[in-house]
Structure 1
Amino acid sequence: MGAFFNFSVCLFSAIGSFLFVAIGYDSGIIGSVVSQEFDYFQRYFHNPGPNITGAIVSTFAGGCFFGAAAAGSLATRIGRKRTIQLGALVAMLGCSLQAGARNVSYLIVGRLIAGLAIGCLSMVVPLYQSEISPPEIRGFLTGLTQFMISIGFLVANWVGYGCQFIRGHAQWRVALAVQILPAALLFLGMFILPYSPRWLIERGRDDEALGVVRRLHGNAKNKEFIDLEFAEMKEQIRYEQENYSTKFSDLWATKPMLRRTLTGMAIQICTQFTGINVSSYFQPTLYAALGLSGSKILMITGINGALGAITTIIFIFFFLDRIGRKPPLYFGAIGMAISLAVEAAINAKWGGVNSTNHPAQTAGVAFIIIFSALFFSVSFGPISWVYQSEIFPMRVRAIGTSVCTCANWASNVLISQVSPIGMARLQYRFYILFVVTNICNALIVFFFFPETKGKSLEEMDEVFGDQVIPHALETKQVNNVGAEDEKSRGSDV
């Protein structure tokens, strides 16, 4: 019962926030909407050039930056659960404005407001998932975030493929309006999901927290594990409350904390500099550069999305919690560098909108798919969300995760704004930039990232070198909760 409930909570929070509303659907659908295949969109907005297109895309990421920044404080004050619901409400407003846009300014404002919501959700949902997951399957459960992003891309791509055949402005309005329904479902569905037990302990609501832990992890055989896990949470959080502050400056106050902060920011920045969002936002443009045109472009985009979702779920279910975080990051970074190098060579030799070399077109499409659906989906895609949400201590976990997510969206703004210009001016040379950045990503992971596989959130202090109290799950006994607390805990159990 506990494992099933745990899985259901993580899956629903991932589906609700990411399937359509968040990064997956929005990033996927905007690439279709701004493409030449959406001719009614082009006419309505007077054929926007690269600068306007970049602004339409990047404004969303800019909103995400500020949404993620605000979410850290909100998640601490009102809780992870209520912050998710607030994000869903704001998403409904932003998506409605996009679907009803009357001009470019209207559309950009809608994307900015939706971005605020998605930035908030992209920070707090992985945080919520990590805090309700047992350590041995935390990679899988938190990795569901990326899986649902992939599903979001998949649905967006096929919605985009279908909507291109609509004659009239419903062609793009329907595609953008689809985002509203899951936001409403998320808002309502979160009423029946639990609060984070760690947040409840931090707020002094120990009885409620113990009840949540029992529901999440409980069965007839693991009463001792539940007792020790709850004790470990309570011991660590109480020690932090008694001995540390919760100031923003704590993120760099000590060498281990600075390492946590820089590592969390680095994995998100490295994720953006894989080049994935060039592929995500402008995938139809990449296929057009190979000489492809018409409905075939959006059909291929849909196939890519399906393969990415399949690869992600296989990876997080069978491999992530077994082989750890670092090895897949090496593998993915090198694989993406090779894929993009080959893609650059194909475009340099046989690319161009007038290309008729079908074998080259096929190879070019294949390596775009290999880049995103294979190498990204088994590395930075799922691991970035898992890693940033598991490395911080409870007292600064929300603001630390917020800072890392802001780093993601700041990089996203940069890349999404300059990509249309870079692709237009540099053409195949634009790929080479990301060949270099992916090689740098592999080196950064190798030299600076610690392995976190199998550790509880409270045991991360051992990983980063700032452990000060023993852990109940290791010692098999309560170590740092006073006699009165232990008696109270015993009577609850």
Structure 2
Amino acid sequence: MAINDSSSSPPPAKLVTNGKPDRRPEAFEGNVTSFVVLSSIVAAFGGILFGYDIGISGGVTATASFLKRFFPHVYHQMQTDKHVSNYCKFNSEILTTFTSSLYIAGLLASLFASRITERYGRRASMLAGGALFLVGSAVGGAAMNVQMLILARILLGSGIGFTNQSIPLYLSEMSPPKYRGALTGGFDICVSFGILVANLVNYGTQKIKAGWGWRISLSLAAFPALLLFIGVLFLPETPTNIIQRHGGDLREARRVLQKIRGTENVEKELQDLATVVTNASKAAEEESPFRRIFRRNYRPHLVMALFLPFFQQVTGINAVNFYAPVMFRTIGQKESASLMSAVITRCISLTCTVVASLWLVDRYGRRPLFLTGGLVMFMAHAVLGGLLAAELHDHGSVPTTIAYLVLVMVCVFVGSYGWSWGPLAWLVTSEIFPLEIRSAGQSIQVSVNFLSTFAVAQSVLEMLCNLRFSTFFLFAGFVMLMTSFVFFLVPETKGVPLDHMMEIVWSKHWYWKRFVVSGRGGEEVEGRIKDKNTDVLI
């Protein structure tokens, strides 16, 4: 790709050090500007939609009026059948299909979305996602039968497939390296906030005596969808994508970069982006990103794209997100109390996510939060399993004190997830892929995330029915496995620019260095990255 820069801007600063390119990240100027913060807030509305659709299904499926209309068999089991085990009262394949259809649709849509994101830009995918959310919300609110409910979930899932593929990329490409954790973490904050809003809406609408409150719950997703759609119309495209889609023309990319960095002196970062885009374009001409990512040199990226989203789901978090009210009903809480318990757990999760995303992740790094969160989640699952094994039998309810202990342990679990795997799995997978495989890598990780979420949503009620309290011991085993995975194989990416991960992170890792070629495209890059905690020689 030929780089066309015919602007009248001052000549770029010197980009050579000792005869080689100066790619030191500290040479890139700029801070977090109000413009980039506002852009990130608008883009992160997609996270609110994702969270709302996760949380809303768990609430309506624990609401008597909704069950009576669409799932009368489950309603009968819950209300009158004394012979059905506590662990099995909500077990229904059609009920779980209502929840899980969202994610199989998202999986398929995310694969298609990667081509839209690559060819037409990140904004185009976000607009498509917002439009699908609007239609899905309307169909869900007007549903007259189970088929309409599932159609609505498929439309919403398709919208999630587009937004979850494009928004983390957009946020990571817009953010300065020093603050990327906080800005990209805004997506997961919005996911957690969306779940909280859904829990509050469910708590309020179940009090409507006429029995149609669930329609409000399902249709209110249209509000953040409309905000996302309108807001994206005013967002700029990322500088990387501008260069990528406009034949190497740097004028528009420079203008946007100056605006989001708050400085005129962006030449070093601009030239670095131009070099990366040129190399990525040449690579794309030789081989498609989906074929290239399977090369040996990208082995660590492929492993992260597969295992980080998988482990994020087998923590058991979405078993809690989808079915928290159902779980609290199982231990004997009434409808209103179970919905309020779900609200409490979500407040704890949101608080931990905000603290981690805005303060901890860019100060202490990704690995310490991954590891501490994993250890606390393991402990919470083990205690939950023990409490239910001792106190929850096939019939009857648990003592009030035990019910409160269960609520406390669920809060501990979602809080530790909120400061670790919640924001960090999305953050790390949004920042590790080189541009030449970025859209493919993001699509793979989103697809694996959706496939794993679908599997959990479809199976968790069956697991509770058959494994009972051992379900939590199973999740505890997965948490210990994934914590070991982080300890041995996930490197620290704090403060590293997106396009320098290969030479700074992977080529220095004790295991992954055997797969990657040091430097970009095999060239050895000189420079020194200094951070108050590290001093890494490149």
Give the TM-score normalised by structure 1: 0.91
Cα distance in structure 1, aligned partners of 2:32 and 2:454: 40
Do residues 457 (structure 1) and 487 (structure 2) align?
A: no
Alpha-carbon distance in structure 1 between the residues aligned to 2:375 and 2:389? 21
* Distance verdict in 2 for CA 1:48–1:146, change over 3 Å: farther
Match of residue 199, structure 1, among 220, 241, 258? 241
Alpha-carbon distance, 1:355 to partner: 2.5
Query: Structure 1 residue 70: deviation in Å?
Result: 1.3
Distance 1:138 1:438 in 2: 26
Aligned pair partner of 2:131 in 80, 85, 89:
89
Q: 2:269 aligns with which of 200, 208, 229?
A: 229
Runs of 5+ unmatched residues, structure 2: 1-30, 75-91, 508-516, 530-538
Task: Tell which deviates more after alignment, 350-359 or 167-176.
Answer: 350-359
Instruction: Tell me which amino acid in the other structure corresponds to 1:10.
Output: S
8 Å contact kept, 1:246–1:395: no
Change beyond 3 A, Cα 1:454–1:193: same
> What SS does the corresponding residue of 1:319 show, helix, strand or coil?
helix
1:62-211 aligned within 5 A = 62-203=104-245, 204-211=248-255
Q: Measure the CA separation in 2 of the matches of 1:111 and 1:51.
A: 15
Amino acid across the alignment from 2:336: S
**CA gap 1:46/1:377 in 2 versus in 1, 3 angstroms:** closer
Alignment check: 8 A CA contact 1:72 1:400 kept: no
Residue 23 of structure 2 corresponds to which residue in structure 1?
A: none
Instruction: Name the larger-Rg structure.
Output: 2
Deviation, 1:310, is 1.4
Query: Cα deviation per residue 1:413-455 (whole Å; 9 max; x = unaligned)?
Result: 1110011111122221111110100000011111111221111
Unaligned runs of 5+ in 1: 476-493
CA distance in 1, matches of 2:287, 2:194: 35
**Structure 2 CA distance for partners of 1:423 and 1:175, relative to 1, 3 Å:** same
CA shift at 1:256, angstroms? 3.0
Partner of 1:212: 256
Choose which of 403, 424, 430 in structure 2 pairs with 1:361: 403
- Tell me if the contact between 2:61 and 2:326 (Cα under 8 Å) persists in the aligned partners: no
Answering whether residue 345 of structure 2 is matched by residue 318 of structure 1, we say: no
* Counterpart Cα distance in 2 of 1:214 and 1:348: 60
Moved more, 301-310 or 351-360: 351-360
C-alpha separation in 2, matches of 1:283 and 1:440: 24
Distance 1:205 1:422 in 2: 55
**What is the aligned counterpart of 1:47 among 51, 60, 72?**
72
How much does 1:170 deviate?
A: 2.3
Q: Name the counterpart of 2:344.
A: 303
> What is the Cα deviation at residue 291 of structure 1?
2.3
Deviations 1:100-128 (A, max 9, x none): 11111111111011101112111211111
Residue identity opposite 2:396 in structure 1: N
Matched, 1:27 2:54: yes
CA distance in structure 2 between the partners assigned to 1:243 and 1:370 by the alignment: 46
Which structure: greater helix fraction? 1
- Out of 37, 57, 61, the residue aligned to residue 7 of structure 1 is 37
Q: Distance in 2 between matches of 1:266 and 1:46?
A: 35
| One-letter code aligned to 2:157 | G
2: distance between equivalents of 1:301 and 1:472? 52
- Aligned AA for 1:208? E
From 256, 260, 278, the equivalent of 1:238 is 278
Two-structure CA RMSD over aligned residues (Å): 1.8
Change (3 A) 1:202 1:470: farther
1:250-329 aligned within 5 A:
250-253=292-295, 255-329=296-370
Q: CA shift at 1:98, angstroms?
A: 1.2
Rate the CA distance shift 1:470–1:81 in 2: closer, same or farther, 3 A.
farther
Structure 2 counterpart SS, 1:252: coil
SS of the residue corresponding to residue 208 of structure 2 reads coil
- Alignment partner of 2:378 out of 315, 322, 337: 337
Query: Residue type matched to 2:59 in 1?
Result: S
CA distance in 1, matches of 2:332, 2:64: 18
Structure-1 separation of matches of 2:454 and 2:347: 26
Quick one: which amino acid aligns to residue 47 of structure 1? P
For residues 97 and 471 of structure 1, do their structure 2 counterparts lie closer, same or farther at Cα, with a shift above 3 Å needed?
A: farther
Aligned 1:358-397 pairs, distance under 5 A: 358-372=400-414, 374-397=415-438
Partner amino acid, structure 1, of 2:57: I
Shift of 1:18: 2.0
CA-CA distance at 1:46 after TM superposition: 3.6
Count of aligned pairs between the two proteins: 465
Residue 470 (structure 1) shift = 6.5
Is the aligned partner of 1:17 residue 2:46?
Answer: yes
Listed one character per residue, the Cα deviations across residues 134-174 of structure 1 (whole Å, up to 9, x for unaligned) are 11110110110110011101110010000001123421111
Q: Give the conservation status (yes or no) of the 8 Å contact 1:2–1:215.
A: no
Do the aligned residues in 1 keep the contact of 2:142 with 2:215 (CA within 8 Å)?
A: yes
Aligned-residue offset at 1:90: 1.1
Match of 1:411 in 2: 452
Greater CA drift, 139-148 or 169-178: 169-178
Alpha-carbon separation, structure 1, partners of 2:526 and 2:204: 55
Is 2:104–2:454's contact at 8 Å kept on the other side of the alignment?
Answer: yes
CA change 1:73–1:391 in 2 (3 A) is same
Structure 1 pair 270–445 and aligned structure 2 pair: CA distance change class (3 A): same
> Contact 1:232–1:473 (CA<8 Å) still a contact in 2?
no
Cα-to-partner distance string for 1:266-324 (whole Å, 9 max, x where unaligned): 11111001000000000012212322223111111112112211111111111101211
SS in 2 for 1:454: coil
